[in-house]
């Protein structure tokens, strides 16, 4: 049992300690991440927090040359693009996140189905730095 609650802030609290959490529906068995009070499959509210292994495979990806404001502040631009992918966790749920350590200058070399493992990236100033989910090749 995880030390985290279903409150949405706890998703980021868990990332601070390199843990990826979600919820497990005790009625229908569905797993989702981030965690939710209401199961998106059966709409039941009998859910518990679970900690995932952080292992998954790449389902889809894109390389972004025109960054969001946050990613522009992190140093990304047309000359320094970044990869975002949809990852299928080994427990079932899917989540999108930045994919690190892949060849963004040759996106055709990034392979669907590649095994990935979670990591985190710290962003923001020293006073308000926050950990964000990312994945890297396993």
Residues that bind Zn ion (CB under 5 A): 25, 27-28, 30, 39, 41-42, 44
Q: Which is nearer to Zn ion, 36 or 55 (CB)?
A: 36
Q: Tokens standing for 45?
A: 């509210």
- For Zn ion, the closer of residues 40 and 115 by Cβ is 40
Residue 102 tokens read as 């892949």
Tell the smallest beta-carbon distance from residue 24 to Zn ion (Å): 9
Kindly give, in sequence order, each residue whose CB lies less than 8 Å from that of residue 75, ignoring residues fewer than 6 positions away. Answer: none
Q: How far is the CB of 47 from Zn ion (least distance, A)?
A: 7
CB of 93 to Zn ion, least distance (A): 13
> Distance from CA of residue 38 to its chain's centroid?
20
Name the residue nearer to Zn ion (CB basis): 30 or 71.
30
Q: Show the DSSP H helices in 6-108 as ranges.
A: 9-16, 69-73
CA 97, chain centre distance (Å)? 4
Residue 96: CB minimum distance to Zn ion, A: 22
């Amino acid at each position: 049992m995880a030390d985290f609650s279903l409150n949405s802030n706890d998703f980021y609290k868990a990332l601070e300690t390199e843990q990826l959490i979600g919820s497990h529906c005790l009625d229908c068995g569905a797993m989702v991440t981030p965690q939710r009070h209401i199961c998106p499959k059966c709409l039941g509210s009998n859910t518990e927090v679970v900690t995932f292994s952080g292992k998954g495979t790449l389902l889809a990806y894109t390389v972004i040359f025109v960054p969001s404001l946050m990613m522009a502040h992190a140093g990304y631009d047309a000359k320094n693009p970044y990869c975002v992918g949809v990852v299928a966790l080994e427990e079932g749920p899917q989540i999108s996140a930045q994919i690190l350590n892949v060849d963004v200058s040759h996106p055709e070399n990034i392979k669907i189905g590649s095994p990935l493992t979670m990591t985190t990236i710290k962003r923001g100033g020293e006073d308000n730095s926050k950990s964000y989910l990312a994945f890297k090749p396993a």
